[in-house]
Amino acid sequence: MSSKILNFNYKVETFKVMADTFFVFALCCIIFLSVIERVTFIANSVLVSERFFIVFYFLMLPRLFILRFSYNKIILIIIIIMIILISTYNSQNYVFLRAIVIAFCGMDFDFYKIIKIIFILKIAATLFVLLMYGFGLTTTFSEEFRQFSETWGLFRNSFGFYHPNQTGIQIFSICAMLICLRYEVLNIKDYIFILGLCLLNFFFIGSRTSLFMCIILLVATDLCKRNKGKVFKNKAFKFILTSFPFIMVLILFLQIFILPKYEIFSFLNLTTSGRLYNNILAYHNIPISFLGSKVIFWDFNLVMDNDYMYSLIVRGVLPTAIMMALYSSMLSKLLKSGRFILVVIAVCFLIYGYSENISFHIQHNFALIWLLSDSRIFDFDSDSNTKNEKLIGAA
């Protein structure tokens, strides 16, 4: 009898290892291919098509058999997935589906292991794109631009990515992951490295949003360390943070209906390269969908960089509201568990989303991985935490 039990336990452990291995492999492929998708000989291939990514989603599914759920949570998750699937079918946009599948299958996965994997993959994929750029194998965007001044002209380059702003997104995401992994042991070398990337961005890439967000993240991180999280215990401040996804939508509609009445609108619109006016045009010319619709903004002579307006029109009001509610719940869990730096990073990604389509892209916003996780996933031992961060620094 005991041998049968041991044999059963061995099979269960073997299955767990297999499921975790499949999950990590699929996640690695998704992250890597998402970063290099603009390389010329890959851009139009099946390797970076969303239908090919479905194979990786199925590879992640075995993890569901080793997770424990209450009946209420199972029903809730099924409802959420069904709504996201309808939205995906209607819009042919897979951003929400990708985030939900990875967050669902990644529940209770080791915190530092998964972030370290993504961090290393991001670095490797970015270096690969730069290497392909050096060999002339990428579709590269370049132009002369005016950085903060009409008289000071610079030449911006995407270095192999689709657009300099995409290069800027990669820089911000890498900086955010570095801060996340080394928060407890951040030192002057880390700050110099991040500031160096900011200078590279300023002089050669010209992604102003990325530059500003990196500076905001650095300042917020420093204040968080100095304050030791005391400000996060204020009830009003906690309410603002947990409501931040919905606050961003509120700001969007205030910008559409109220801000144009004031003279500052012209200045802000110019500063954001016309993004504010594009939001207004999109709202008045393209219907907002309930469960998603396939919209090509080029047909309306528009470029839609605002992630919230894009989501309401393309992915639908209901799916967007669900994702925002889940994001808000995640922020609340992070605050309760004292993971304040993760709150700072997650909020910065939301702010970034007002200018670039990034907030719900899990290959950029790694905070989405914990969208469906329980509070206990964040309650890891502080000594182990520091030890892992030191190992990251040595890697």
Please tell me the predicted confidence (pLDDT) of residue 38: 65
Please tell me the predicted confidence (pLDDT) of residue 67: 77
Query: 372 near 78, Cβ under 8 Å?
Result: no
Residues 6 or more apart whose CB falls under 8 angstroms from that of 240 comprise 247
Please tell me the predicted confidence (pLDDT) of residue 376: 47
C-alpha to C-alpha distance for 119 and 125, rounded to whole angstroms: 10
Classify residue 358: in a domain, yes or no: yes
Summary count for the chain: helices (H), strands (E)? 17, 2
Please tell me the predicted confidence (pLDDT) of residue 249: 95
Classify residue 247: in a domain, yes or no: yes
Classify residue 305: in a domain, yes or no: yes
Burial state string for 197-217 with b = 16 or more CB within 10 A and e = fewer than 16? bbeebbeebbbbbbbbbbebb
Please tell me the predicted confidence (pLDDT) of residue 8: 61
Q: What share of the chain is helix, strand, coil (3-state, %, to 5)?
A: 75, 5, 25
Please tell me the predicted confidence (pLDDT) of residue 141: 64
Please tell me the predicted confidence (pLDDT) of residue 338: 84
Residues 6 or more apart whose CB falls under 8 angstroms from that of 379 comprise 337
Q: Which of 180, 115, 231, 188 is nearest to 341 (CA)?
A: 180
Classify residue 270: in a domain, yes or no: yes
Please tell me the predicted confidence (pLDDT) of residue 52: 78
> Model confidence over 108-132: pLDDT tens digits?
777 778 888 889 999 999 898 888 8
Which residues of the chain have a pLDDT value below 50? 146-152, 376-395
Classify residue 168: in a domain, yes or no: no
C-alpha to C-alpha distance for 225 and 234, rounded to whole angstroms: 16
Query: 38 near 162, Cβ under 8 Å?
Result: yes
Please tell me the predicted confidence (pLDDT) of residue 161: 82
Per-residue DSSP letter, 287? P
Classify residue 222: in a domain, yes or no: no
Amino acid at 331: L
Structural domain count, the chain: 1
Classify residue 113: in a domain, yes or no: no
Please tell me the predicted confidence (pLDDT) of residue 352: 94
Domain span including residue 261 = 70-105+229-378
C-alpha to C-alpha distance for 162 and 139, rounded to whole angstroms: 7
Classify residue 121: in a domain, yes or no: no
